[in-house]
Amino acid sequence: MVEKTLAKKSSLGATQRGPAPQNDQKARIGAVFWASLIVLAAFLLWASISPSSLGELMTSSMDWIARSVGWSYLLVTLGCIGLMVYLGASRFGKIRLGSNDDRPEFSTWAWLAMILSAVMGIGLISYGVAEPISHFMAPPHALEEPETMAAAVRALQFSFFDWGPHAWAVFGVFGLAIGYSTHRKGRPGLVSPMLRPVLGRLVDGWFGKLIDVFAILATLFGTTTSLGLGAAQIEEGLNRVFGLPTGIGVQVIIIAIITVLFTLSALSGVNRGIKYISQVTMALSAGLALFVLLFGPTSFVGNIFFRSVGQYANDFFQVSLLTPSTPDDLQWMQGWTYFMMAWWLSWGAFVGVFLAKISKGRTIRQFVAGVLCVPSLAFFAWFSIFGGTAIKFEMEGATIAAQTAENLNSAFFAMLNELPLVPLTSVITMILVALFFISGADANTYVLSMMSSQGHLSPTRPVLTLWGFLTGLCAVLLLLVGGLAALQQAAMLSALPFTIIVALLGISLTKELRKDPDFDL
């Protein structure tokens, strides 16, 4: 009995020390780095030489995935929500991501600001109006009559579904798994080591390296989608405010300029670049939301927010597992639900590594609240304010829906055009997009560099610079191949392996936590 107690204390002491030898050594690149570059170079070469054949292959592959295994995106994301809620509410919740003596490196405000702006910030502008107004005009799965109050509620309900807990739970599972593995067990900041409880020694060989290569490529393609969205939003804003021309050429120039900025920000480190940009971005976002709420249809927004949240909660499981029943339904799912769920899965490794980096010292319960609950509520409020305002204006005779149908990127600006101070709010929106753009790509560059440097938390400047350049180049080439559709298809295709990887991560994390000394205390 005494020996058992001493052994337990010894184990706990080792956990409290939180060894992390990989971060005491110099960052080195290895096979994962070179393999990722070779695969990416082959892809970019193909896109340059024969963009039509690449586009056709991506389209046909995506059609097959949607028809055959699209349901797996729904099942896995729902499972992630269940796991996050269980871990946060159970005794596991008190376990800290780090030693028992570690405390958070960032204030709660700075931490939440980085989560919101660096993770999905561009989506707030790109889809904050476009998705609700699109669903209002053509309700999902024909559940309501178009352009009615019931359609407005459904529009926000499905927007919540696409941008709420289903997305953040995927990020949370990756973040918890990598954060626990890195900060508490002292392992490299990679996906593969966390799968050891399930895959055993396979993670030490070529199979483990293949998983990490997949993680890098999925991260890259998931982020290039955001870069394409951001460039299109800035282009639209410049056209509306300053009358500048539009086109792929303009978007390429915007991506090139922003690539330089986010690469420089990444070189300054997480504690400086991402942290400060994120806080400024969140302050501007809150100010813009408050302006629209006060000068827009305040009462309507408040009412539709609560009705939509109630509808979302009431139909949660039904909508979470709703699969297409007709060819038109399948096409709609491929453009919205399947794309969104796949996008979040493709982002899982990137966001997970980033969340792990900024969450050292927090308990699992704090992590679940900060990653699953707070962002979901923030996105619910954002979509209700901006999407609800657009819907109300449309009901009163505005042409926001027609402008959105013609150009998705015009939706947000079309809504602002119905409010006072249009030039000022349009400029603020462009600044927000640029800051979201920079902070998200900044975080992406850091994560790509870390994962390709054997998981070292402080990658070298040359590696950071290279991945910043490659991120911008990849976004430009995919735009030239097939515009935003090609960016979306690349994200969806790269997400498919992660339906399996995230499930294995959840199992591995649970097994690891059950062996944690604190679980028995």
CA distance readout (Å), 170 to 60, 212, 229, 256, 504: 26, 17, 21, 30, 12
Q: What is the DSSP string of 283-302?
A: HHHHHHHHHHHHHS-HHHHH
Query: Which pLDDT belongs to residue 467?
Result: 87
pTM: 0.86
Query: Which pLDDT belongs to residue 22?
Result: 47
Q: What is the DSSP string of 448-473?
A: HHHHTTTT-SS--HHHHHHHHHHHHH
Spell out the alpha helix ranges (H) of 243-336.
248-267, 275-295, 298-314, 316-320, 327-335
Query: Which pLDDT belongs to residue 236?
Result: 82
Amino acid identity, position 105 = E
Amino acid identity, position 366 = Q
Query: Which pLDDT belongs to residue 430?
Result: 86
Query: Which pLDDT belongs to residue 21?
Result: 41
Tokens encoding 376: 């979901």
Partners of 96 in beta bridges: 363
Q: Which residues of the chain are under the pLDDT cut of 50?
A: 1-24, 521
Residue pLDDT, tens place only, 232-274? 778 888 888 788 888 878 888 888 888 887 777 777 665 565 6
Q: Which domains does the chain have, with CATH numbers?
A: 28-520 (1.20.1740)
Asked if 471 contacts 36 with a C-beta cutoff of 8 angstroms, the reply is no
**What three-state secondary structure class fits 244?**
coil
Residue pLDDT, tens place only, 333-377? 988 998 889 888 888 887 888 888 889 999 999 999 999 999 999
Going 405 to 408 to 411 to 413, the CA torsion angle's sign is negative
Cα–Cα distance between 96 and 401 in angstroms, integer? 47
Asked if 415 contacts 393 with a C-beta cutoff of 8 angstroms, the reply is yes
